[in-house]
A and B are shown apart, each in its own frame.
Chain A
């Protein structure tokens, strides 16, 4: 009956499969790969095999990024992009959960809207950028709108699926325990959908940023996408790369945060 977690310590444990990889070795190989790649790039651009005008070089990109951060030039742009992504994420998630709930629980809605959702989802969302700029102007609203269209569908499909795939036995058990419709929603349907929504969180937050950056790239006065567009306009390859690196760094940091949140909220799952 004992299910207490046992101390692992230095005890030898049985294992399946081959020898376990030493995590330190993996880390060194990862660093080695990075150094090799950057070194090769740097050298190629220094000896003239790569044209620095088109390809820049790692040292310049690094200096540019550092200077942006040091002078604080990039910070307001980062903040704007982040704000847009965050707003889009919140609005898109709220709309997605609401629509997913409604369509999963009301059969007629699901049937009627099915073709329209397919059509909208098939539409490459970037195309909506120009129309949103016309409607909402060059400020953050148009970027948020574009990113919302990306986030919405991911959350919507996951909510819909999550609710549709609630184990009928679990649902019937709750009904036998006399759960009202409202309680079923709160105790059974939403938590089940939550698991799906959370597993798609990485994708949806990534898409929120994509929407924001692409929106800025199409026309804006601030934000990372705007900085990159400006740099491209004056053929400043180094700045384009610096913007690129900052964007991925931003996504990575957010991803780490989500990992922790996810681990806490989905702790009821086996293997979580």
Chain B
């Protein structure tokens, strides 16, 4: 069962028998996810791992309200989700900043959309920009920043609105290993302070274990389902680089990997066919 503090027992996110099908380009129907039921307690950091193309991101889009499942339903803090999930912020894998707005304007965006007055929004945005280490870059445009810096802006942009749920789709996938570890630690620091519910999708099992309280393994698609569900009992605060050397980490890695390996091979063979 889920670890971490659950406020009143109502899960932050609950997928109830969710299936997702798309119309295949050559006709017929392509089932991405089949009968997914998953309950995520408030305040926990949950990682979802699975082979590429298994539908992990699709599940995240369901939680975000960007995709409406034809079957099953999603409850957010007990309420059925309709339209965009107003409790959630989303950190995308790709660049999602407005290229025609500066760093400051991008970070403020969520506040501006919520009609927060500029003289309140701006100081707050400046604080968040400083918090992610980008002080002095407020007036830059995204293309003038490195990939890692753009991710920091995106992190500040999603964090500033004070979301109760944070959805992350392989947010650090495009970064080099060093930058990635720094960002992962920063994410943990930020999370440590606010303890939102995080749903973190990745195909990197090490990243999943290092960050999360709970790791959910999804099988290879099509018609992916939940293959395994593991609690990560590792002390916090963690350092993502050091924790990988912890024997408990290695132990857990082996256990989950035996589950995941078959799925990865499956999806690899399907890709080569």
Contacts and interface: CB of A to CB of B under 8 A. Distances in A.
Nearest to B85: A176
B113 A183 contact: yes
B98 A191 contact: yes
A169 B144 CA distance: 20
Contacts of A180: 113
Contacts of B92: 169, 172-173
A170 B90 contact: no
A187 B113 CA distance: 10
Interface stretch (B35-43, B122-130, B135-143): B135-143
Contacts of B157: 177
Contact of A175 (B84, B97, B141): B84
From DSSP, what is the main secondary structure of chain A's interface residues?
Answer: helix
Contacts, number: 80
Interface stretch (A28-36, A99-107, A252-260, A264-272): A264-272
Interface residues of A, number: 25
A174 B102 CA distance: 15
Contacts of A174: 98, 109, 113
B90 A3 contact: no
Contacts of B146: 1, 3
Interface in A78-99: none
B57 to A, nearest CB: 11
A178 interface: yes
B98 A187 contact: yes
A269 B89 contact: no
A179 B113 contact: yes
Contacts of B118: none
B82 interface: no
B110 interface: yes
B89 A268 contact: no
Given A3-B137, A169-B96, A177-B89, A270 B109 contact: no
A176 B144 contact: no
Contacts of A169: 92, 94-96
B70 to A, nearest CB: 20
A264 to B, nearest CB: 12
A3 B101 CA distance: 18
Contacts of A178: 84, 86, 110, 113-114, 161
B232 to A, nearest CB: 27
A268 B99 contact: yes
A214 interface: no
A178 B146 CA distance: 27
B66 A268 contact: no
Contacts of A270: 143
Contact of A191 (B84, B100, B137, B140): B100
A153 B88 CA distance: 41
B82 to A, nearest CB: 14
Contacts of A170: 95-99
Nearest to B96: A173
Given A178-B114, A267-B141, A172 B96 contact: yes
Given A268-B141, A269-B143, A270-B143, A172 B90 contact: yes
Given A3-B140, A3-B144, A172 B66 contact: yes
25 contacts: A1-B146, A3-B144, A3-B146, A3-B149, A169-B92, A170-B97, A170-B98, A170-B99, A172-B90, A172-B92, A173-B97, A174-B109, A176-B84, A176-B158, A177-B109, A177-B110, A178-B161, A183-B112, A187-B113, A191-B98, A267-B141, A268-B100, A268-B142, A269-B99, A269-B143
